[in-house]
Amino acid sequence: MEIIKKLQRNQLYPIGNGWTKKTQPFRYFMVHTTNGNQWSNFMNEVNFLLRNKSKNKYGAWTSVSAHYLISKDGIIYELLDPDKYVAIHTGLTLAGRSNKYSLGVEMHYTPGEGRFPAKTWYALTWLKNQHPNLIPVTHRESALPKGRKIDPSGISDSQFNYWKTHLHVPVKLITVMQTGNIRKQPSIKSAIIETLKKPEQFMVYGDPETSTLDGGTVGNNKKWYYLNGVGYVHESITQ
Ligand SMILES: [Zn+2]
């Protein structure tokens, strides 16, 4: 897949705000969503993360930033080189998870925009696997006081935990066809969670050849996909 576009804050603003020099390795891979205006323009979000600054309560110039911003199309923008710089994205956190210790990854998504985009998940997975030693954490589980942050929005704790424990498993994108039924279990006897009104892409786990699992038979086919925390679909309604 398409991968990283480098557009680095430190090149555009060699002196200024939004970063400090890195002095030690990161331990965490902290995942955020931008949570700006719904359906905001992606390049505006890029520009915001590159250029924003404001005065803090002590009158000093400050700024928020991130190392990466992932688009809804799964393109990863590198805004700050994580080998050299610390970004400003955590605020107050649990011990040992502050900016100095955490690589910051933003994803372009705001609550109310529907299901979390599959291509963004996919790109996040790729990016995490470029940093195998870092521990993935959400901003909301790291921020203090508890409840101060809700992001990454659109990803539940159980989806995040499933993702975190399946990083060694290959992922792929599949499309479920219009009117496709997503079910609670891999069987057409199982309850329908949702019927799709238009074709939709999902990320699924597993080797591309064997990413299906066996479930209830439809025709002669018992192959089903697990849609990343959403539910199950029969292979015959995918492409
Ligand atoms: Zn955040």
- For the stretch 63-75, pLDDT in tens is 889 999 999 999 9
For residue 11, the model assigns a pLDDT of 59
170 class by beta-carbon count within 10 Å (0-12 exposed, 13-18 middle, 19+ buried):
middle
- Cα(90) to centroid(ligand 1), Å: 7
- Cα(141) to centroid(ligand 1), Å: 10
* pLDDT over 60 (residue 13): no
Q: Quote the pTM value.
A: 0.90
- Report the percent of the chain where pLDDT is more than 70: 93
pLDDT tens-digit profile of 75-93? 999 988 899 999 999 999 9
Measured CA to CA, the distance from residue 30 to residue 28 in angstroms comes to: 6
- Cα(193) to centroid(ligand 1), Å: 30
If one compares 59 and 139, the residue with the highest pLDDT of the two is 139
* pLDDT over 90 (residue 107): yes
Least confident of 45-54, 124-133, 159-168: 45-54
- Cα(215) to centroid(ligand 1), Å: 38
